[in-house]
Amino acid sequence: MELLCLEMETNIRARPDPNLLCDDRVLQRLLTIEERFLPQYSYFKVVQKDIQPFMRRMVATWMLEVCEEQKCEEEVFPLAMNYLDRFLAVVPTKKCNLQLLGAVCMFLASKLKETRPLTAEKLCIYTDNSIRPQELLEWELVVLGKLKWNLAAVTPNDFIEHIEELWELKKARGVYCFLVLRYVMFFHLLLHSFSPR
C-alpha cells in the first residue's frame, strides 16, 4: 500500500476589509505613520562618506533579484529597502559592509512578512559566501538597535489596496474624477518619495 501526500504549499492571505479600505481616516493614518519611517534628509550628503548612490542602486537590484528568485511576499523588498535607508541615514557604513547590510535587511523583512522566512545560510549563499551566517546574525542585532526595533514601517505597498478601492468606487459610480487621478499621482509620488541622490 502506498500513501500519497497531497499537501500543497499555498499561502493563504486574508481578504481586504472593505470597511477599512473605504475609510479616509485609515489612509490619513497611514500617511502620518509613513512620515515617521522615512529618512528626513539625503544621507549621502550628511552621513555617508564611503557609500555613493550608485552603490545603493546596485545593492537594491541585488536584493530585488534575491526576493524574486526566492518568491518572497511582495512586501519584503520595499520593507527591506526601508530598513536599509533608515539605517544608512543614521550610521556611517563602509562600502564593504553594504551587501551584508542588504542581506540583514532582507532577513528582517522576511521574518516580519513571510510564513517561511529566508534563512541566514541561504542569504549567505546569495552573497557568494562573502559573509558568514554568524556575521549576519551579529549585524541583525546592530540593525535592530539602530532602528529602535521599529520594524512595522509603512511602505508604498500599504497604499495599493486603498487606491484600488478608490478607483473601483469611482468607476462603479461612473465618475472618473479628479480625486482618482490625484490618488494615482499621489501613489506615484510615494514610490519615488525618497530617491537619494
**pLDDT tens string for the chain (197 positions)?**
565 655 556 666 667 666 666 677 777 777 777 777 777 668 788 888 888 888 888 999 999 999 999 988 888 998 999 999 999 988 888 999 999 999 999 999 999 888 889 899 999 989 988 999 999 999 999 999 999 898 888 887 777 777 777 666 555 554 444 455 555 555 544 444 444 44
CA distance 95 to 84: 13
Boundary of a domain, candidates 151, 169, 185: 151
N- to C-terminal Cα distance for the chain? 65
Q: What is the pTM of this model?
A: 0.75
Residues 78 and 145 in one domain: yes
CA distance 104 to 80: 8
Is residue 180 domain-resident?
yes
Residues 117 and 181 in one domain: no
Residues 170 and 146 in one domain: no
- Count of the separate structural domains present in the chain: 2
| Domain extent at residue 98 | 48-151
Residues 107 and 191 in one domain: no
